[in-house]
Amino acid sequence: MSFRLHAVIEFLVKEEIPAAEIHQRLQRAYESVCMGASSVRRWVKHFKDGNTSIEDVHRTGRPRTASIERNKERVDEIIQDDRHVTVDTITRKLGIGHSAVQEMIESLDYRKVCARWVPRLLTEDHKGQRKAITSELLQIYRQESNYVLLCIVTGDESCKVMSGVQAILATEQVERDDAKCSGKVMSGVQAILATEQVERDDAKCSGKVMSGVQAILATEQVERGDAKCKGKVV
């Protein structure tokens, strides 16, 4: 339909009909499918300038100036300053569109974790490190069986910070054979550690506690046989 309207406009321009009258004639003839007055004036000028094409010239549209390196750097700076910042806040600060900000965040390899922007961790280097660690653990497991599972500590991506704690350190050492060792840590006042270690034959027991200003040590040695050792904190 647009080609037909353009052809009609071209004919009426050759008849030297004014743009306003051309628009009125098109409205009477085509009613709702008629183009607007501004479009009619644009096509009238197009033909008066000597152009003969009735096809719309392809236009690239408004250039995208939001997703430039400068704005991308500003988005990175804002996220680095406040990991809890929202996309709406970044949009207001930079005065650019929501979709443009979202696109720049994705191009910077950020993702949302627990309401906090963090860089994506699974790079090729990280994948290689994980593979090496798991391969090493698998080899140790094959050598030491189920015992090694008790020595593995796992965790998630969260981080917990504790400050102002008075009771800090508890260490235990387990020797060979059928040794048993248990330690309890009590914080809040000054009593901290109780350690027990049982060994068959030549049993030995040692316990060390360090807390703030005070250091506490209790050692006992029991002679051969089914010895039992208890550490007392004074």
Tokens found for residue 124: 């090729």
Q: Do 133 and 104 share a structural domain? A: no
Half-sphere exposure of 226 (CA within 13 A, CB side): 0
- pLDDT bin (cut points 50, 70, 90) of residue 78 is very high
Question: Does 60 fall in a domain?
Answer: no
Q: Do 125 and 115 share a structural domain? A: no
Question: Does 102 fall in a domain?
Answer: yes
Count of domains observed in the chain:
4
Nearest to 192 by CA among 217, 174, 224: 217
Rounded Cα distance between 209 and 214, Å, is 9
Question: Does 202 fall in a domain?
Answer: yes
Q: Do 196 and 150 share a structural domain? A: no
Q: Give every CB contact of residue 30 below 8 A, 6+ residues apart in sequence.
A: 1, 5
Tokens found for residue 186: 């009590």
Q: Do 173 and 226 share a structural domain? A: yes
Q: Do 196 and 218 share a structural domain? A: yes
In this predicted structure, the answer to whether residue 154 has a pLDDT above a threshold of 70 is: no
| SS3 of residue 209 by DSSP | strand
Tokens found for residue 28: 């009477």
Amino acid 118: pLDDT: 58
Q: Do 191 and 208 share a structural domain? A: yes
In this predicted structure, the answer to whether residue 177 has a pLDDT above a threshold of 50 is: no
* % of the chain surpassing 70 pLDDT: 51
Q: Do 98 and 74 share a structural domain? A: yes
Amino acid residing at 8: V
Question: Does 33 fall in a domain?
Answer: yes
Question: Does 78 fall in a domain?
Answer: yes
In this predicted structure, the answer to whether residue 148 has a pLDDT above a threshold of 70 is: no
Question: Does 199 fall in a domain?
Answer: yes
Q: Across residues 57-65, what is the average pLDDT?
A: 56
Question: Does 54 fall in a domain?
Answer: no
Residues spanned by the domain of 141: 121-156
In this predicted structure, the answer to whether residue 168 has a pLDDT above a threshold of 50 is: no
Q: Across residues 46-59, what is the average pLDDT?
A: 76
Q: Across residues 173-179, what is the average pLDDT?
A: 44
Q: Do 101 and 90 share a structural domain? A: yes
Q: Output the domain CATH number for residue 6.
A: 1.10.10
- pLDDT bin (cut points 50, 70, 90) of residue 55 is confident
Give Rg (Cα) of the chain: 39
Compute the C-alpha angle 46/10/21, nearest 5°: 95
